[in-house]
Amino acid sequence: MTLENIRYFESQIQKIDRVIEREFFPFPEKQVLTSARGRGPVLAAGIIAEIGEMSKFGSDKKLASYAGLEEALEWKLGRRNTPLTKSGNEYFGHYLAESVNCLRMYNAEYSGYYHRKYHEVRKRQHKKTLALLLES
């Protein structure tokens, strides 16, 4: 019975993914966001849904702030003992982190950078290293 439930939910997820891909097709941003291997239409659609118009962000710093990545930016600048921030759009930050994680898994260059930086960080290694990947 549990296996039937799992198969049912997997089929429902596949149906939802197909609907997202179909609805996402007309957006020109799709080509840019889905060009990296591993980042599909679901992640790209989530990023577009959370950002809206890219022009409303004047700089990368404002976009990172909107994603709640100030702490990683501060760490990169050498201010290592900054408190964990709870600001920003939680969903956008999640989509960005998942997107960068896909790059890490499917791109050898990003994977090498990830592993190098991961060992340099003392606390919250995975989150901070993903944020550093996002910056690069």
Q: Comparing 42 with 65, which gets the higher pLDDT?
A: 42
- Spatial CA neighbour of 97 closest among 23, 41, 46: 46
**pLDDT tens digits, residue range 48-76?**
888 877 778 887 777 777 777 666 556 55
Instruction: Report how far residue 73's alpha carbon sits from residue 131's, in angstroms, rounded to the nearest whole number.
Output: 8
Enclosing domain of residue 32: 2-135
* Whether this model's pTM surpasses 0.75: no
Count of domains forming the chain: 1
**pLDDT tens digits, residue range 119-130?**
887 777 777 777
CB 107 within 8 A of CB 36: yes
CA 85-91-96 angle, to 5 degrees, is 85
